[in-house]
């Protein structure tokens, strides 16, 4: 009986994504003050250089322009026991950088997809993918939180929400957000949906907020911190998942950001 219970518990933890997780203390020791090359591979992602002759297609995850990119997986799930949901959509991402900015694309195999928020609204409550990006020697970071319809919440902020600068409408437009779904989905789509969402982050925008010049040349060989997420409070599939492990449903904690290494 004990053996049966042990096997059942191990299987349950594996399904929940909790098997083998590090404690918050262990993870903090693992990443803080550690040289990036000594951090385990699952917390490192290399942002390679885009081919200038075949730029990435923000609408197609498998387009030729992405062939050079690593494929990351957002699979570290956290669960809210009060919502009793074990929904785990499959989410992949790719990133590249070129002469003008950084390219990002997500591919999500999902269900109950919804998108109702406007720009700078509660996009995180819809079916949503997110990129948090932190430059070196800064306690501030950008949070690009984009719903399946292509609307985005984005600020340059610290872990203290009161220290936030909100991007303007023109700056949001410069992201060139591209999705294969309608801008508004009022009723959750009660069937399997694969959706792709891509966007472009111009260096001019990053430089404006960072206060120093950011260019392809300055990024070559540099290491930034960051994390990528899939989340949503949508009816039928509330879920929270991260690329780099987080100990709870709390994404605005730079201590747990992984390492983004520019080629």
- pLDDT, one tens digit per residue, over 165-202 is 999 999 999 999 999 999 999 999 999 999 999 999 99
Q: What pLDDT sits at residue 31?
A: 52
pLDDT in tens, 135-152: 999 999 999 999 999 999
Q: Which residue has the higher pLDDT, 7 or 128?
A: 128
Cβ atoms of 72 and 243 within 8 Å: the answer is yes
- 2-262 is a CATH 2.60.40.1190 domain: yes
Q: CA-to-CA distance for 49 and 97, rounded, in angstroms? A: 5
Q: What pLDDT sits at residue 38?
A: 61
Task: Name the residue ranges covered by the structural domains of the chain.
Answer: 2-262
Q: Is 256 helix (H, G, I), strand (E, B) or coil?
A: helix
Average pLDDT over residues 153-158: 97
Q: CA-to-CA distance for 131 and 117, rounded, in angstroms? A: 18
pLDDT of 8 strictly over 70: no
Q: What pLDDT sits at residue 35?
A: 55
Q: What pLDDT sits at residue 250?
A: 87
């Amino acid at each position: 009986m004990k053996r049966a219970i042990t096997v059942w518990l191990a299987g349950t933890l594996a399904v929940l994504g909790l098997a083998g997780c590090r404690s918050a203390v262990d993870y903090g020791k693992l990443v803080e003050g550690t040289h990036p090359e000594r951090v385990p591979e699952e917390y490192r992602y290399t942002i390679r250089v885009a081919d200038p002759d075949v730029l990435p297609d923000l609408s197609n995850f498998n387009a030729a322009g992405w062939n050079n990119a690593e494929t990351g997986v957002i699979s570290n799930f956290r669960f809210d026991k009060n919502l009793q949901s074990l929904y785990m959509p499959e989410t992949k991402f790719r990133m590249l950088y070129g002469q003008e900015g950084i390219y990002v694309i997500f591919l999500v195999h999902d269900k109950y997809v919804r998108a109702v928020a406007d720009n700078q609204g509660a996009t995180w409550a819809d079916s949503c993918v997110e990129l948090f990006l932190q430059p070196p020697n800064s306690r501030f970071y950008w949070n690009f939180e984009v719903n399946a319809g292509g609307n985005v919440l984005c600020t340059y902020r610290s872990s203290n929400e009161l220290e936030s600068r909100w991007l303007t409408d023109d700056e949001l437009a410069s992201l060139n957000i591209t999705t294969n779904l309608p801008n508004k989905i009022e009723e959750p789509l009660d069937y399997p949906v694969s959706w792709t969402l891509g966007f472009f982050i111009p260096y001019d925008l990053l430089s404006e907020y960072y206060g120093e010049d950011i260019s392809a040349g300055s990024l070559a060989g540099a290491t930034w911190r960051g994390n990528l997420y899939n989340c949503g409070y949508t009816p039928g599939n509330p879920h929270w998942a991260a690329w780099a492990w987080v100990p709870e449903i709390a994404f605005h904690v730079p201590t747990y950001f992984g390492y983004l290494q520019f080629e």
